[in-house]
Amino acid sequence: MVKAVTVALRGFKMFNASIDPERNELVYKQYYNIGFAADTGHGLVVPVIKGTDRKSIRDISAEIAEKARLAREGALPVEDMRGGTFTITNVGPLGGTAMLPTINYPEVAILGMGKVQEKPVVRDGEIVIRKILPLTLAFDHRIADGADAARFVAELVRQLSDPNLLLLET
């Protein structure tokens, strides 16, 4: 998901931004530092994977595993929780099927994921069972509108529907 979000953010720069409260302006990021919510048992923390546009899926996965382990052990350095440009949170492992995520200020958007479930869908006029991943994008409406959000999520779905696209990325 981190790689798919990174790829999608390239075309939707308004979601890879932050608000500078002192200047009261939007700052578009030219880099991709994706935070992920980690449940530590002692509260939620958001480790950040920096430079996700320059890392492979394998490298991102290894870094997530390591930072999540450090977070659970209470040993994650504060610096590893700074500098995020976009955050992903996932209640699926906890059994959550839907959510309304809270934006990780000063970022302007966050993606929430629910539990993957098998559901009936219509494909080519036939009812088939497919795995469905609920996605929720919460964003600052001063920055973008619902149409932008729908296009962003559609691009995520496109990336996730064809994993070969992501394997071609760094």
- List, in sequence order, every residue forming a beta bridge with 17; answer none if it has no partner: 28
Q: In terms of residues, how long is the chain?
A: 170
Residue entry with tokens 């608000």? 19
DSSP-based three-state secondary structure for 129: strand
Residues 160, 133: contact at Cβ < 8 Å? yes
Over its C-alpha atoms, the chain yields an Rg (Å, rounded) of 16
DSSP-based three-state secondary structure for 116: coil
Active site residues: 141
Residues 106, 83: contact at Cβ < 8 Å? no
Residues 19, 73: contact at Cβ < 8 Å? no
